[in-house]
A and B are shown apart, each in its own frame.
Chain A
Amino acid sequence: MKLRGRLALTVVAVMVPTAGVLLWLDATARHDAAAHMLTRIVADDLPGHEEECRATAPSWGTGLFGGPQKGRWSRPPPAKRAPPNEPLDHLPERRGSSPDGVDAGPSSRDLGPPAPRNGLAPRDHGPPPPPGSGHEPPDGPPGAPHRPIVAYAYDVDGRPARQGAPALDMAIAGALRPGDLYVLPWLFFSDDVEVLARTASADSCAFVLVRGATGSWGAVLPATWLWLLPVLLVSGGVLYFVGSVVERLRKLAGEVRRTAESGYGGAITAQGNDEVTELAIAFSEASAEIRARVIELERREKALREFIANTTHDVMIPLTVLQGHLAEGETQIVAAREEAHYVAALVHNLGLAARLDAAQPQIARSRVDLGELLQRVASRHRPVANERDIAIEVGAGLEPLYAMADMTLLEQAVSNLAYNAVRHNREGGHVALIVESLRGPAGEPRFRIRVLDDGPGIPAEDIARLMERGARGDTPRGRDQGQGIGLDIAKRAVLVQGFTLTLAPGAEGGLEADIEGPALS
């Protein structure tokens, strides 16, 4: 995964649980605050309404608590706080333990002082503050529903006085003594806050369940979703900053790649003053080091090539003179001529071997007239072939055929094949060098150079082995010392140019060696 994607995923992976925990804390604190305030209100106001409850139990309970002060919070007067005999801290409380107890209810309520009995409890849009904070929170989300505080009366057996009242859990209610208040467990996904009170009476108003709502956001988090804005801004900023770093790393990678492609010749730009810059500098230094070593290796390789080329040059001149002398001689010198011819071929092949063994063989392609090339090869071997009455013929089509090739490599390859064809032929035999024009699969022009002989040939099963480097055929060809290197050089000189070399038994006996490649149209 790309760095930027991984970073975005990390931000999401951190933000989502953090937001979840914050919302859970917020909901918990809000419920606690609401429960606390409701408990106080009930503790303060219920005693004054007990008589009324007993008298009008079936209809009693609506609009009892809270005031009409919309838009503001007010705390109950200090004098009306929890009765001294029931300190809030000692209230038996139980609540749910879900971490997900988010109360999305946007409503709020007024926890003001006792309202007139006919007054409904209007909702405030703000969340309840932490107890004792006394501040005025901002409005909640617009359009939040208002829900009044409602009380329900029950007799000692838990039977509700009013229809539609929630069922009472007698396991809890039965444990309460007169004057006790109990905060009912927090239900998940609900903004209800319920306080159960046990009055001193034993009639239809023995228990009073007071239900309020937690209200909207705000115990821990700000009242609106605005709190998300800075979080998103910070996250976006981080992504933007890291994005620029990623961009620089990407550029650096591109530069390193380009430098590598150019043989570590180019420079790597290092801007700025940070870790990415240090990385660029480190790459630059490594590149310079590699470049230095490459230059040194190239220098050595060039020196070696020069040495071989010069040595070859020095050998060739006396060899030419020797050949000249031998040409003047009588028939007993024929063998000496062949050896001189062999030595000349060997020196050429050694020179080419050095070129082909280079790390990157240098191919100097030019437009080569293949018919001319075959003529040159034929005239090179004809003097020695004539001594043994072997005819070397060159055949071509009616039009000259050209290919983009390294003329030295291709000529030496054909020369080696022709040399083998002559050397392993019988007296009175034939060698033919042919260039043919072909069409490739897509109709593109191709050439095929065929070197044929009518000598003893080699068994088909030996041909594959012969194509391996250094392998030499069994008798009669096996006696020849030049077979291995000549064929090997021919093969490599052909392949390095992208051409193909195939050996097969000839149609008229002997061996046929074919070189194929693209021709110029």
Chain B
Amino acid sequence: MASRLLFIEDDQALGKQVVAQLEKQGYAVTWLREGRLLDVEDVRGVDMVIVDLMLPGTYGMDIIKSLRGFSEIPIMVLSARVDSHDKVRALKLGADDYMTKPFWPEELSERLRARLRRPALQRGDALAVGVVRLDRARREAFVRDRLIELTPVELGLLEALMVRGGEAVTRQALVDKVLAPDGEGGERTLDVHVSRLRKKLGEEGVIETVWGVGYRIAKADRR
């Protein structure tokens, strides 16, 4: 089901373009062309609110403040000012993220995706990224529902990669988190453990090497 967005922007050209691009990516967009205080009906069923700060009518800050009075819906702020005060104030009032103009359409959709999938991360003991699933309580890992036998170090390594929801994790963080308790460390040891883990997971590309960073679990199913 398409995510529903409430978009508040006074500039006609920009608003029209953004709405068109978002709809093209599958979002259902409601566009408000001027600022006004929102009520419960406005945000019913809406997954995210995107609001420009400099609006005629009601100022963007006031919209955020009033919205936070009755809703926890994610809010993305659009700002064209280089001043930090507006951003800090918007975040303090309850905004979740901000974007600075000018932005690329891809940039906006990437930020929206990151925001909208966030609640799915790190929920309880069951982690799932791509084709990998991990039950933290029972210390069991699965690839496509196939149980994989892992050593404690390999389980720790897999868990460290999965808690970030498929984002790249630095080699330094992995060494510190996974290898330090053994008293033996170093990035070479990490590479050995990753190599073994890859073999046990049995599929190519489940653990990706990220240039300059470290490793991550592939979010997409490559098969």
Contact = CB atoms under 8 A, between A and B. Distances in A.
Interface residues of A, number: 55
Interface string B146-167: 0000000000000010011001
B82 A393 contact: no
A355 B170 CA distance: 34
B17 interface: yes
Contact of A432 (B14, B104, B211): B211
A436 B170 CA distance: 8
Interface in B72-107: 80-85, 87-88, 91-92, 97, 99-107
A197 to B, nearest CB: 109
A393 B177 CA distance: 21
Contacts of A344: 102
A508 B81 contact: no
A309 interface: yes
Contacts of B92: 366
A316 B80 contact: yes
Interface in A327-362: 327, 340-341, 344, 348, 351-352, 355
Interface in B155-207: 160, 163-164, 167-170, 172-173, 176-177
Given A312-B80, A351-B82, A379-B110, A395 B170 contact: yes
A398 B214 CA distance: 12
Contact of B214 (A355, A364, A395, A408): A395
Contacts of A382: 106-107, 110
A309 B105 contact: no
Contacts of A434: 170, 212-213
B170 A406 contact: no
Contacts of A348: 82, 100
Interface in B10-55: 11, 13-14, 17-18, 21, 54
B114 interface: yes
Contacts, number: 151
A132 interface: no
A430 interface: yes
Interface in A348-395: 348, 351-352, 355, 364, 366, 372, 375-376, 379-380, 382-384, 386, 391, 393-395
A281 B211 CA distance: 69
Contacts of B85: 364
A412 B87 CA distance: 14
A452 B83 CA distance: 28
A270 interface: no
Interface in A453-494: 454
Interface of A: 309, 312-313, 316-325, 327, 340-341, 344, 348, 351-352, 355, 364, 366, 372, 375-376, 379-380, 382-384, 386, 391, 393-398, 406-409, 411-412, 430-432, 434-437, 452, 454, 508
27 contacts: A309-B82, A313-B54, A313-B80, A313-B81, A316-B102, A317-B11, A317-B101, A320-B103, A323-B103, A323-B104, A324-B18, A324-B105, A325-B17, A355-B82, A379-B107, A379-B111, A380-B103, A382-B107, A395-B170, A396-B167, A396-B168, A406-B84, A409-B84, A412-B82, A430-B211, A436-B170, A437-B173
Interface of B: 11, 13-14, 17-18, 21, 54, 80-85, 87-88, 91-92, 97, 99-107, 110-111, 114, 160, 163-164, 167-170, 172-173, 176-177, 210-214
